[in-house]
């Protein structure tokens, strides 16, 4: 995280400096020379003008004796021998070039007078350079720019830091880690995706734990009966008794086979989400089609459907499976009366399946949709493994729906309510 922030700031600074240098170079290239004068170049030009003026007069000493004392440039004529210079500078003087010398307090402009052994020395107080101020202003500009960038990046970095900590805790085994979706627009989708991923992983891990624990529990009973039957078959020679135990072993094997088939079906559900054939369909017509298969059974099934079509986007096969599981649950735990209602509201529709059974205890309503969980586990008159409602819940999740259970106000039993977006 720190490397990212530092590299970003460094990149911004480097790009800014490079851009500034490029524009300055372009300015120097395309701006006329007369518009690029600095105070030093202007002083040098004034010194040349004074030299030309002194060289053109017949009495230069008289001219300089009347020179204003308050002038920025103070000219003086001295013999060349009185101002020794290195050979390279002497050569420039002989070529009538201007030489500039600089001290902390003064700047000197030297140029030889024509047809004379004298030098014209023009002294000027050192002009206060604005380069230091320019550097300070430049530094202040980049400091302000980096500060603004840091202020802009701070929410982003803080949210990324929270995401990193949540991911580390999640990887360490705390599957309950979630992110509060913040207001940073360019991280909001990432935080939502992380929460969705975390919920999905936690859901799958819970399923694995439930499946492994429940599978061992559900298989233990038929395996124990099979072992008992095999021991009895080894000890018994009575043909009738042997046929009886052989039939019991076959039933237990059928029970185990059915359990394994349901486990495989439930395990394949996660792979089937990519194969969903979503298309618009009339949910009311789907309810009518599924209800026709229940008319020949020993139950009373009533439908309360709207006259107009209720259009949803979903997979007909899986929605049929969901509704069939709800009807099967109602027929299994009810006393023969089932009512199916369908209501349409703005943005969603509500499908409810009522039965006249004993209902689902409030303490179990939050767990009834988990695999191998049955509301009346101690009631052995109803066969099943507790996977039907878990499959229905999974299908509802795939369709961005909600499946809930409550007490039925119509028949007094359980009411399973499915809400789907329209």
Q: Are residues 227 and 290 in the same domain?
A: no
Residue 155 lies in a domain: yes
Q: Are residues 252 and 299 in the same domain?
A: no
CATH code (residue 241): 1.10.287.130
pLDDT of residue 35: 47
pLDDT of residue 352: 95
pLDDT tens-digit readout, 1-11: 566 566 666 77
Q: Are residues 387 and 322 in the same domain?
A: yes
For residue 259, what are the contacts with CB-CB under 8 A and spacing of at least 6? 215, 218, 219, 222, 385
Q: Which residues lie across from 420 on neighbouring strands?
A: 349
Residue 58 lies in a domain: no
Residue 139 lies in a domain: yes
Question: Are the C-beta atoms of residues 357 and 345 closer than 8 Å to each other?
Answer: no
Q: Are residues 255 and 214 in the same domain?
A: yes
pLDDT tens-digit readout, 140-162: 777 777 787 777 778 778 888 88
pLDDT of residue 362: 83
Q: Is the model more confident about 175 or about 349?
A: 349
Position 105 pLDDT exceeds 90? no
* Rounded CA separation 341/284 (Å): 9
Q: Are residues 417 and 318 in the same domain?
A: yes
pLDDT of residue 416: 94
Share of the chain above pLDDT 70, in %: 82
Q: Are residues 116 and 231 in the same domain?
A: no
The mean pLDDT value for 319-336 works out to: 89
Position 273 pLDDT exceeds 60? no
Of 72-81, 210-219, 235-244, 396-405, which range is least confident? Answer: 210-219
Q: Are residues 18 and 146 in the same domain?
A: yes
CATH code (residue 408): 3.30.565.10
Residue 40 lies in a domain: no
pLDDT of residue 381: 55
* Rounded CA separation 246/249 (Å): 5
Give the end of a domain, one of 252, 271, 290: 271
**How many Cα atoms sit within 13 Å of 319 on the Cβ side?**
27
What is the average pLDDT value for the chain, to the nearest integer?
80
Q: Are residues 91 and 111 in the same domain?
A: yes
Q: Are residues 341 and 385 in the same domain?
A: yes
Residue 287 lies in a domain: yes
The mean pLDDT value for 28-32 works out to: 63
Of 65-69, 228-232, 293-297, which range is least confident? Answer: 293-297
Q: What is the pTM of this model?
A: 0.51
* Rounded CA separation 65/359 (Å): 122
* Rounded CA separation 183/304 (Å): 44
Q: Are residues 117 and 207 in the same domain?
A: no
Give the dihedral of Cα atoms 249, 252, 258, 261; nearest 10 deg: -70
Position 349 pLDDT exceeds 90? yes
- The domain containing residue 140 runs over which residues? 1-27+131-162
Q: What is the β-pairing status of strands 402-407 and 337-345?
A: unpaired
Number of domains in the chain: 4
- Residue 232 CB burial class (10 angstroms; 0-12, 13-18, ≥19): middle
Residue 56 lies in a domain: no
**How many Cα atoms sit within 13 Å of 297 on the Cβ side?**
16
* Rounded CA separation 326/64 (Å): 116
pLDDT of residue 94: 84
DSSP code of residue 81: G
């Amino acid at each position: 995280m720190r490397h990212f922030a530092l590299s970003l700031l460094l990149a911004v600074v480097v790009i800014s400096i490079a851009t500034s240098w490029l524009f300055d170079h372009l300015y120097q290239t395309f701006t006329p020379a007369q518009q690029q004068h600095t105070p030093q170049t202007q002083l040098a030009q004034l010194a040349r003008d004074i030299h030309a003026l002194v060289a053109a007069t017949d009495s230069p000493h008289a001219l300089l004796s009347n020179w204003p004392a308050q002038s920025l440039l103070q000219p003086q004529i001295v013999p060349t021998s009185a101002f020794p210079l290195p050979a390279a500078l002497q050569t420039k003087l002989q070529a009538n070039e201007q030489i500039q010398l600089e001290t902390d307090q003064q700047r000197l402009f030297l140029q030889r007078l024509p047809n004379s052994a004298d030098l014209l020395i023009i002294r000027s107080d050192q002009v206060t350079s604005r380069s230091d101020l320019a550097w300070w202003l430049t530094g202040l500009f980049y400091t302000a720019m980096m500060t603004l960038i840091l202020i802009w990046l701070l929410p982003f970095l803080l949210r990324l830091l929270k995401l990193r900590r949540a991911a580390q805790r999640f990887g360490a085994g705390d599957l309950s880690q979630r992110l509060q979706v913040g207001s940073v627009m360019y991280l909001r989708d990432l935080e939502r995706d992380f929460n969705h991923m975390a919920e999905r992983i936690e859901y799958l891990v819970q399923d694995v734990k439930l499946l492994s624990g429940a599978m061992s529990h559900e298989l233990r009973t038929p395996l124990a009966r099979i072992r008992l039957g095999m021991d009895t078959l080894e000890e018994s020679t009575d043909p009738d008794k042997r046929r009886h135990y052989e039939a019991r072993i076959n039933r237990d094997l059928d029970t185990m086979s059915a359990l394994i088939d349901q486990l495989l079906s439930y395990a394949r559900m996660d792979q089937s989400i990519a194969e969903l054939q979503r298309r618009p369909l009339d949910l009311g017509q789907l309810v009518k089609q599924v209800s026709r298969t229940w008319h020949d059974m020993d139950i009373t099934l009533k439908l309360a459907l709207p006259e107009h079509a209720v259009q949803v986007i979903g997979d007909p096969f899986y929605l049929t499976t969901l509704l069939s599981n709800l009807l099967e649950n109602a027929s299994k735990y009810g006393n023969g009366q089932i009512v199916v209602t369908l209501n349409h509201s703005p943005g969603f529709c509500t499908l409810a399946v009522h039965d006249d059974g004993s209902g689902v205890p409030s303490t179990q309503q939050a767990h009834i949709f988990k695999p191998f969980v049955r509301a009346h586990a101690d009631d052995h008159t109803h066969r099943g493994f507790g996977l039907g409602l878990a499959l229905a819940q999974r299908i509802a999740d795939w369709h961005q729906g909600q499946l809930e259970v409550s007490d039925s106000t119509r028949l007094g039993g359980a009411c399973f309510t499915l809400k789907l977006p329209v």
